[in-house]
A and B are shown apart, each in its own frame.
Chain A
Amino acid sequence: DIQMTQSPSTLSASVGDRVAITCRASQTISDWLAWYQQKPGKAPKLLIYKVSSLESGVPSRFSGSGSGTEFTLTISSLQPDDFATYYCQQYKSYSRTFGQGTKLEIK
């Protein structure tokens, strides 16, 4: 199985900050990488697919980059609504493994 490792596990930041979350795959996954946002008590929401394609309706302050085994989700200027948990996911293999999550907290 392909393992996905996110860092950091927790990130404290302020409104207006630029933040980045990293996701590393245990083997190359080409560009089969998605990012999700989850708020407490809610289902995850797709933000980005195929490394850098923004899902419809997602603000442009979210962006994705990377290739092979190293990927990054960047939020250019944090808004109050962005404080949540973020997950990466590979969909190269049939077992669609997720990263362990990064909780973005208000500093």
Chain B
Amino acid sequence: QVQLVESGGDLVKPGGSLRLSCAASGFIFSDSYMTWIRQAPGKGLEWVSYISGSSDNTNYADSVKGRFTISRDNTKNSLYLQMNSLRAEDTAVYYCARMGTFDVWGQGTMVTVSS
């Protein structure tokens, strides 16, 4: 079945780095734009970044631009989010989702930025 599974969330100190992964199955991954969305504890949803199927088109929310990098490996059906210079306000559950409309979501992975 169509599935997305995130991993890589952890507790990290301010200024640190983390790489999130999202493993896709059940659909033609290389044909799909993919996206990351986050949700701070008790807060709403915030779109973070997206990437085209061929990786030639990427975009970022202003809040993460210059610090986060989205990438993918279509040979591994995997999506990534490299997060650098992490701040306390980056603390959130991070979801990957299939774009167009966000019709398929992963279960989320928790990132906590704290000293």
By a CB distance below 8 angstroms, the chain A residues around B59 are 94-95
How distant is the Cα of A96 from the Cα of B44 in the complex, in angstroms?
13
User: Is the beta-carbon distance between A34 and B101 smaller than 8 angstroms?
Assistant: yes
How distant is the Cα of A42 from the Cα of B71 in the complex, in angstroms?
25
User: Is the beta-carbon distance between A44 and B45 smaller than 8 angstroms?
Assistant: yes
| Size class of the B contact interface (CB-based, 8 Å) | 10 to 19
Q: Is A46 an interface residue (CB 8 A)?
A: yes
Number of residue pairs spanning A and B whose beta carbons lie under 8 angstroms apart: 48
List which B83-115 residues lie within 8 A (CB) of chain A. 95, 101-103, 105-108
User: Is the beta-carbon distance between A45 and B105 smaller than 8 angstroms?
Assistant: yes
**Given that A43-B95, A94-B59, A98-B45 are contacting pairs, would A36 and B50 also be in contact in the complex, using a CB cutoff of 8 Å?**
no
User: Is the beta-carbon distance between A96 and B47 smaller than 8 angstroms?
Assistant: yes
User: Is the beta-carbon distance between B102 and A100 smaller than 8 angstroms?
Assistant: no
Q: Is B10 an interface residue (CB 8 A)?
A: no
Interface size of A by Cβ–Cβ distance < 8 Å?
Answer: 23
The majority secondary structure among interface residues of chain A is loop
User: Is the beta-carbon distance between A87 and B102 smaller than 8 angstroms?
Assistant: no
How distant is the Cα of A44 from the Cα of B93 in the complex, in angstroms?
12
By a CB distance below 8 angstroms, the chain A residues around B101 are 34, 46, 49-50, 55, 91
Residues of A within 8 A of B (CB): 1, 34, 36, 38, 42-46, 49-50, 55, 87, 89, 91, 94-101
6 further A-B pairs in the complex, CB-CB below 8 A; given A94-B50, A95-B61: A1-B62, A43-B108, A46-B102, A49-B101, A87-B45, A98-B45
